[in-house]
Amino acid sequence: MESEARYAWVGGTLILLFLALAGGIYWLSGASDTPSAKRYTVYFRKQSLEGLQIGGEVRMRGIKVGRVMDYTILPDTVRGVRVLLEVDARTPVLEGVQAEVNRKLVTGIAGVDLVNTMIGGAPLMLKLMGEPYPVIAEGVGEVTRMTGELIDLGSVGGLALQRINLLLSQDNQRAFRDALKNTRDLTGGLGQVVPLLRETLVQSRHTAERLERASVTAESALNTAARDLDSLTAQSRDSLSAARTALELGRKEVSALSLSLRLSADLAGQDVQATAKVLRDSGSALQQTAHALSLPETILFGAPRGDLGPGEVAR
C-alpha cells in the first residue's frame, strides 16, 4: 500500500509538470489569437524593410505594444511584402491608422510604428475580402521622409554649386574686377564732390529758412486778406439788401407813376377828341362861310330859285 501511494504521488506530479510544460509551450508559441492580443496585416510597397525581423517591435508613441509575427515576400510588386503584426488588445488601433518602418540609428534594427491619423475614430475592425485580419495602411516613415528631404537638399545643393561655378567663371571674375575698379574710381570722385555737396546742403538749408519766413509772412497776409474779404462781404451784403429795398420802393413808385400817366393819357385823349370835334365843326362853319363869300349875289339876292330848299322863299 505504501509503494502504491508513492507511485500515485509521482504520477500525479509528472502529470502536473506535463500540463505546466504544455501550457508554457502554448503561451510561448502564440499559435492563435488570444483575448489579450489582436492581429493585423500590413502591405509594405514603398518603404524598405531592411533590419525588420520576426519578433521585431511594434510601437505606438514610442511604447512597445506588440511584435512582428511573420512576413511574406509576394511575387505581386503592387502589394510588395505582407507583414503580420500582433498587437496588445488594449492598444487603440483606430480607423485611418498607418504603419511606418523606423530604424534605430546605432543598431539598424527596424520596428513598426503605428500612427493614428484620425482623432476620435472607431476601432479598426473591417476586414478586406480574402484577408483573415484587418489591414493597416502603409505610411511614410521618418527615415524615408529624411531620405527624401536629403535627396531634395542634395539636388538643391548641386544646383547651387552649379550656379556658384557659373557665378565664379572667368568672365564674371573679369566683370567683378572691372566693377571694383569703377567703384574705386567712383569713390575717389565722391571725395571731390563731397565739399560741393556740403555747400549745396548749406545753401539748401538757408533757402529752406527763407522759404519758411516767407511762408509765415504769406500766411499773415492771407489772414489779413481773409479778414478784409469777410468785412467787404458783409458790406456788400448790406449794400445789396439796401439796393433790394430801394428797388422795391422804386418798383412801387414806378407802378403809381405808370397808373397816373395812364389816367393822364386817357384824359388827354378825351380832350384831344373834344378839341378835334370843335375843330371839325369850326372847319365846317368856315367852309360854309367861305362858300357864301364866294357867291356875293347869293348874299344880296338870295339863293337861285332852283336851289331853294323846302320852305325857302326867294327874295
Secondary structure string (H, E, C) spanning the chain: CHHHHHHHHHHHHHHHHHHHHHHHHHHHHCCCCCCCEEEEEEEECCCCCCCCCCCCEEEECCEEEEEEEEEEECCCCCCCEEEEEEEECCCCCECCEEEEEEECCCCCCEEEEEEECCCCCCECCCCCCCCCCCEEEECCCHHHHHHHHHHHHHHHHHHHHHHHHHHCCHHHHHHHHHHHHHHHHHHHHHHHHHHHHHHHHHHHHHHHHHHHHHHHHHHHHHHHHHHHHHHHHHHHHHHHHHHHHHHHHHHHHHHHHHHHHHHHHHHHHHHHHHHHHHHHHHHHHHHHHHHHHHCHHHHHHCCCHHHCCCCCCCC
312 pLDDT more than 60: no
What is the percent of the chain where pLDDT is above 70? 71
Query: Phi and psi (nearest 5°) for 43?
Result: -110, 115
* Nearest residue to 90 (alpha-carbon basis) of 127, 142, 38: 38
The better pLDDT of the pair 100, 17 is held by 100
State the pLDDT at residue 147: 63
Predicted pLDDT at 57: 94
pTM > 0.75: yes or no? no
Cell of 57: 517591435
Residue 158 is predicted with a pLDDT of: 75
**Residue 134 or residue 233, greater confidence:** 134
**pLDDT at res. 35:** 55
Name the more confident of 148 and 59: 59
Give the pLDDT score at 295. 53
**Which of 35, 176, 169, 50 lies closest to 101, judged by CA?**
50
The answer on pLDDT for 215 being more than 60 is: yes
Cell output for 260: 397816373
pLDDT computed for residue 32 by the predictor: 46
Query: In the numeric block, which cell numbers belong to residue 309?
Result: 330848299
The predicted structure's pLDDT at residue 31: 47
What average pLDDT does the segment 290-298 reach? Answer: 56
Average pLDDT of the chain?
A: 77
Report pLDDT digits (tens) over 101-123.
988 878 888 999 999 988 888 89
Residue 65, CA distances (Å) to 37, 85, 93, 127 in order = 10, 10, 11, 21
**pLDDT greater at residue 231 or residue 137:** 137
| Cα–Cα distance, 90 to 35 (Å, whole number) | 10
Count of C-beta atoms within a 10 Å radius of residue 100: 21
Show Cβ contacts of residue 69 under 8 Å, excluding neighbours closer than 6 positions: 30, 39, 54, 84, 85, 86
Assess whether pLDDT exceeds 60 at residue 297.
Answer: no
pLDDT at 226: 75
Q: What is the pLDDT of residues 224-271, one digit of tens each?
A: 877 877 777 777 777 777 767 776 776 776 677 667 767 766 776 677
Is the model's pLDDT at 171 over the cut of 70? Answer: yes
Residue 275, all three cell numbers: 378839341
pLDDT of 159 > 90? The answer is no
pLDDT band at 98 (very low <50, low <70, confident <90, very high): very high
Q: 74 is written with which cell numbers? A: 509576394
The domain segmentation of the chain, as residue ranges, is 34-145
Per residue in 202-214, pLDDT (tens digit) is: 888 888 888 888 7
Which is higher by pLDDT, 20 or 262?
Answer: 20
* pLDDT tens-place string over residues 22-70: 777 766 665 444 458 999 999 998 888 888 999 999 999 999 999 999 9
Identify the residue with better confidence: 109 or 180: 109
